[in-house]
Structure 1
Amino acid sequence: MTVEIQAGGPRGSHLKSGALAGVIAGAVFMMMEMGLVALAGQSPWGPPRMIAAIVMGEGVLPPPASFDLMILLAAMAVHFTLSIMIGIAFAAVASRFGWPMVLAAGAAVGLGLYVVNFYGFTAIFPWFAMARNAISIVSHIAFGMVLGLSYRMLTK
């Protein structure tokens, strides 16, 4: 006799969509942040180093803001873990939102993340204060909007 267990049902599928939307938004965010930082004449490896410093300590902060595989892997592990958690939390709330609301909610989430990261967490991670700028604001709002858009596309 075989027993088949269905994974999650409708709510579980929304949470899985939220997790995947978090991965998508996280990837877009990281590419956008690194690209905009490079366009501003700074090293694109600065943002990943700031993220990696959460788990590796301040010793990985620039300078030098050069490529280092271990630092990049640590940054991606932290970044995508947080992106997935945010995506799941977003899905728990946004499952009943339509297109305009899911984009607005995503933008609000992104802006909220910016405020929390660069004004709240600076008490623990003071190096985040140096990234209080338009690039970080725009990238975080874009993260939220891509999160909302991806989530809605994955659930429709």
Structure 2
Amino acid sequence: MHSHQLTHRLPDWRAAAIAGVLAGVVFLLLDMLAAVMMGGSAWAPTHMIAAIVMGSSALGSPEMFDIGIVVVALIVHFALAIGMGLILGLIMAPFHFDSSWGMASVVGAVYGLVVYFVDFYGMTQFFPWFAEARGWTTLLAHVIFGIVAADAYLKLERREPDKDMSEMAR
């Protein structure tokens, strides 16, 4: 059997959600670190994320810690991270990666790139403040998000016996 054979099966939703959370933690830490390394505030990303639901008024004073902003940002961020994990689970479920960490990581990296371009070039029509966060550090954080999510999903996925799509066609 090939290490990434196509099969017909549903994602392990639990594994996908947990993978999204784990990748979301790594992403948020990288994003906050990158903000500091670029001379900004570690809290700037939380203000940008909270503004998705609170509006542009949440963008004021990004250098300040605001518990309300942080709580809203964490809820929004992890809801999105779980959603992204579930979508990645849908993408990965039909394939038997077995122990093919390399292939899972490639799928995750490509997924992270796609999410970056959707978020920072498509969604900026609705949330224009994210345009200022475009750049290599944010791109890298998204690629790492995808890799962590894919590898975590591969590790956490509960595999059940299933049939090849070719067997099901018979």
For the superposition of Structure 1 and Structure 2, which TM-score range results when normalised by the shorter chain? 0.7 to 0.9
**Native 8 Å contact 2:20 2:84 kept in 1:** yes
User: Is the CA contact 2:22–2:148 (under 8 Å) kept in the aligned structure 1?
Assistant: yes
Looking at structure 2, the residues matched to 11 and 113 of structure 1 have their Cα atoms a distance apart, in angstroms, of 22
Give the structure 1 partner of residue 83 of structure 2: 85
Which secondary structure does the structure 2 equivalent of 1:67 belong to?
coil
Higher helix share: 1
**Hey, what's the Cα distance between the residues in 1 that align with 2:73 and 2:90?**
26
Provide the TM-score with structure 1 as the length reference: 0.88
How many pairs are equivalent?
146
Using CA pairs below 8 Å that are at least 6 residues apart, which structure has the higher relative contact order?
2
- Residue 104 (structure 2) pairs with residue 106 (structure 1): no
CA pair 103-71 structure 1, distance change in 2 beyond 3 A: same
Structure-1 residue corresponding to 2:73:
75
Runs of 4 or more, structure 1, over 6 Å off, are none
**Equivalent in the alignment of 1:20:** 18
Matched residues in 2 for 1:94 and 1:48: separation?
A: 30
Structure 2 partner of 1:153: 155
How many percent identity over aligned positions? 40
**Aligned mates of 1:62, 1:141 — CA distance in 2:** 29
- What's the CA shift string for 1:54-102, capped at 9, x where partnerless? 0001011143421111101111111100111111111122122332221
The TM-score normalised by the length of structure 2 is: 0.81
Q: Which moved more, 1:20-29 or 1:80-89?
A: 80-89
Structure 1: gaps of 5 or more residues: 1-9
Higher CA-based Rg: 2
RMSD: 1.5
Aligned mate of 1:42, from 40, 43, 52: 40
